[in-house]
Every structure is written in C-alpha cells, then in structure tokens.
C-alpha cells in the first residue's frame, strides 16, 4: 500500500535526523501539526441551489514566527495533503531564513466546474470560515494551485469586511492595486530559476545551455520556463493537466502561454484551453514528458508524480522540484543510487514565500519597492540558501534534500533552544 503524503513528508525529516540530531523536544514538536481546522463552506450556486464544500487550514509549526502558506482549490484536497503541505512550508521558510512558521489551506473543489461568481462566493465563504483562525501576526495565507491574485483580492476584501479594518497583510499574492508586491506573480518560478542557476555548476551542469522539460505549465512552471529560455536554455517540452507538447528544437514559452491564455473561455480565473491544443508541436503524454532524455526535468504540478514506478526510467541529469512533493522517498533512493541530483521543493520553490514575505513587510511599513529591488533581494536570499545547501550536502555527504532539511533544522533547533528546553533547566540544577 502506498504511504500517505504526510508519511512521505515525515520520512524526509527522519532521513535528515539520521545525520543531524536535534534536541528531543524540537523533534517532538516537529512531528505533529500545531492546529488543524476543518470547515464547511455553504455556497449559493448560480442556479439557486446550495452546495457545501469542505475546507481546511493547517498551522503546522510557529516556532520561527507567524505561520505562512498558500490555499489550494483542487478536487483531491484532503487533510493529509494540507498538513503535508503545511509541514513542507515549515521547513521551506526555515531553509531560506524567513521569520515564519508553516501553514497551508485548501478547499475540496474542482474550480473548473464553477462559474467565476461561484468561485468568488466560495472564496469569500472560505475566508469567513477561517477568519478567526488567521491574522497578520498569526497565520497569513497566499495562492497555490488553482488560486491566484484575483482570489486573494476577494479574500482580503472579505477579511476587511469582517474586521472593519484595512489589513492588506492578512493575505499575500494580492493584486498590486490591493497592496500586492511587484514581482510576486512570477516569484516562485523566478526563485526556482535562481536556485538552479546558483547550483548547476556545483552539480556538474555549468557553462553550456541545457535542455529542459517542464511538467505543469501553470504560474510556477511558466515563469521558470520563460526565464530559463531567456537565459538561453532550450525548453523542449511543457504540459498541463490535459497533456504535453514536445519540440526538439525548443518551444517559445511566451508564445505557448499566449495561446493557452487566448483559449480561455473567460479571461479570468481559469483556463479551459490547454497547452496540448497548441497543435504545431508533437503531442505526448505527461508520463512521456517525465521520461524524456533531457538535461533537466522540472516537475511543477502536483505531488507524487515521480515514484518507484517510473524513477528508473527518468533520464534527466538533474531534477528541479518546483511542485511541492513531486518525488516519493522510494524514487529519491533510485536517484541517489544513479547520482541524479534533486534540487528539493523546500529550496527550489521557496521564491514564492520569500516574495510573499516582502509583500507582508511592505504592507506593514506602507512603503512599496520597485520590481528590480524585489528581484535582487530575492536573488540574494536564494543564492545564500542554495550555497548553504550545497555546502551542507558536501559536509554531511547527503543528497540535497537531506542537506536542505539539515539547514532548516539548524534554525528551528536554535529557536527551540532559545525558548528553553528541559536541558536548559537540567543544567541549572
């Protein structure tokens, strides 16, 4: 029987703890979420009927600061997935040194089946249901799969209606007009690109332009592909939930995205078109994309797409995890044996939460930065974290994922010790 996503996630922590011991109390606190909220969201549908959706918000750990994490709308959202994503957020924020703990939220819904007005009512209903559980100094949501800046705008508006106060820092990833940050929209893909560029020489992939396949051509995958193509790399394949396209000579990510956007029935929250309808190119399946003979594979969609089933057939020389949890622990073992480095999610996709942090800081000070400043601050943070993870990998002779956990554990452990553990008290006796 395959293990739950949460068990998989905790398996990664166990592996890091084999190499880097932390205080027993720190470990205990990292094994379970701080709090888990499940809510029912009644939504009046366009035809007058009422539907009730299930929503979740998990605050995993707040040792380093207020909890932070996105909100996912997807039919497969469940409490196991949300707490796994909240767990990863805890380590992600710590790897890049942000003053945040980890959280995540989600609603079990297929948003493609809802009208835009129904999505607005659902989003306001979700915010209303979780409003007492969150706060600018408590827990700060953001976008994730199938949520975007428009949805964050509705949520911040709803929160202001509830609290009768202007508090833009309650949600990040907002539209610029409602207090969003320059550069937030593309920050996750950009951060992934910076991490990859910072590490590739150290991974033996320096110098020459590389061939890249991107699974999941959404916000994160698109911006990574665009920046990589601008830097001279060849994006040979991209995909979305409906299928993949392949072109040996290289695709133009901006052109593909334009076609994808133009095929939207509503120029709004969701795209009915799909990259596989961009017919000039060879159509392949998502599974075939993962197994292409490329230099770099970039999973940017959902969890558990690279497993013990297909890991052996993966030919890429390096994997950059822009999605959360795309590789199972069994597959990691295969890559370790084959010497294929995996730049792990908790580092590779940390650019999003980093610029969310910048947005929160800007909202709290009321002073807004130009895009170049956002990007250069993001690069400084990602470059530093990437160098630390590479160094720790060498020092402990462990894969990059374990090195990233060690880097996060060091920071979390310091915070636990600073708050006082049994050992502090025992020493005084």
Cβ–Cβ < 8 Å for 96, 169: no
Closest CA to 205 of 127, 319, 351, 338: 319
Closest CA to 87 of 144, 28, 142, 33: 33
Min dist CB 136 to ligand NAD, Å, is: 19
Min dist CB 73 to ligand NAD, Å, is: 9
For 163, half-sphere exposure in the C-beta direction (CA atoms, 13 angstrom radius) is 19
User: In the complex with ligand NAD, which residue's Cβ is closer, 168 or 216?
Assistant: 216
3 state DSSP class of 275: helix
Across the strands, what pairs with 43?
51
User: In the complex with ligand NAD, which residue's Cβ is closer, 33 or 216?
Assistant: 216
How many residues does the structure list for the chain? 429
Sheet with strand 101-108: strands edge to edge: 35-44, 50-61, 101-108, 67-74, 139-143
Q: Given the structure tokens 């937030």, which residue do they identify?
A: 184
104 belongs to the catalytic site: yes
Question: Which two structure tokens, joined as six digits, stand for 118?
Answer: 């129904």
Min dist CB 355 to ligand NAD, Å, is: 8
- The single residue of 10, 15, 34, 104 carrying the catalytic annotation is 104
Min dist CB 187 to ligand NAD, Å, is: 7
Question: Which two structure tokens, joined as six digits, stand for 377?
Answer: 């601050």
Min dist CB 116 to ligand NAD, Å, is: 16
Beta strands of 171-302 (E only): which ranges?
Answer: 211-215, 234-240, 243-246, 282-284, 296-299
DSSP string, 350-406: THHHHHHHHHHHHHHHT----HHHHHHHHHHHHHHHHHHHHHHHHHHT--HHHHHHH
Q: Which residues bind ligand NAD (CB under 6 A)?
A: 143-146, 188, 215-221, 239-241, 286, 300-302, 322-324, 349, 352
CA distance linking residue 97 with residue 347, whole number of Å: 11
Cβ–Cβ < 8 Å for 60, 102: yes
User: In the complex with ligand NAD, which residue's Cβ is closer, 240 or 295?
Assistant: 240
Min dist CB 28 to ligand NAD, Å, is: 27
Residues carrying an active site annotation: 104
């Amino acid at each position: 029987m395959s293990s739950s996503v949460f068990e998989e996630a905790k398996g990664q922590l166990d592996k890091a703890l084999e190499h880097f011991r932390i205080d027993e109390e720190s470990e205990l606190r990292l094994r379970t979420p701080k709090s888990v909220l499940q809510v029912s969201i009644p939504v009046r549908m366009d035809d007058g009927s009422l539907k009730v959706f299930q929503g979740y918000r998990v605050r995993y750990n707040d040792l380093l600061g207020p909890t932070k994490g996105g909100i996912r709308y997807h039919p497969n959202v469940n409490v196991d997935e949300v707490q796994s994503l909240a767990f990863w957020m805890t380590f992600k924020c710590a790897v890049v040194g942000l003053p945040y703990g980890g959280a995540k939220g989600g609603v079990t819904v297929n948003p493609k089946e809802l009208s835009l007005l129904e999505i607005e009512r659902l989003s306001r209903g979700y915010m209303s249901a979780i409003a007492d559980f969150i706060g600018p100094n408590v827990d700060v949501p953001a976008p994730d799969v199938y949520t975007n800046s428009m949805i964050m705008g509705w949520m911040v508006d709803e929160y202001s209606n509830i609290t009768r106060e202007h508090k833009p820092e309650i949600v990040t990833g907002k539209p610029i007009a409602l207090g969003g940050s320059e550069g937030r929209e593309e920050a996750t893909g950009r951060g992934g690109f910076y991490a990859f560029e910072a590490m590739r020489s150290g991974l033996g992939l320096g110098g020459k332009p590389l061939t890249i396949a991107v699974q999941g051509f959404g916000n994160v995958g698109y911006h990574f592909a665009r920046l990589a193509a601008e830097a001279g790399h060849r994006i040979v394949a991209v995909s979305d939930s409906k299928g993949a396209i392949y072109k040996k000579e290289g695709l133009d990510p901006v052109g593909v995205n334009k076609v994808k956007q133009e095929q939207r029935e509503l120029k709004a929250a969701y795209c009915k078109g799909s990259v596989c309808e961009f017919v000039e190119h060879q159509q392949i399946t998502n599974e075939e994309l993962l197994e292409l003979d490329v230099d770099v594979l970039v999973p940017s969609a959902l969890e558990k797409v690279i497993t013990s089933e297909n890991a052996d057939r993966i030919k890429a020389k390096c994997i950059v995890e822009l999605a959360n949890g795309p590789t199972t622990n069994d597959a990691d073992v295969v890559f370790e044996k084959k010497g294929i480095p995996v730049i792990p999610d908790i580092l590779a996709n940390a650019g999003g939460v980093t610029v969310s942090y910048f947005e929160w800081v800007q909202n709290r000070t009321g002073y807004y930065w130009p895009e170049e400043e956002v990007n250069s601050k993001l690069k400084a943070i990602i470059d530093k974290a990437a160098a630390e993870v590479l160094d720790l990998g060498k020092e402990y002779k462990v894969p990059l994922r374990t090195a990233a956990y060690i880097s996060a554990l060091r920071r979390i452990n310091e915070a636990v010790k600073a708050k006082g553990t049994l050992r502090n008290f025992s020493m005084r006796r």
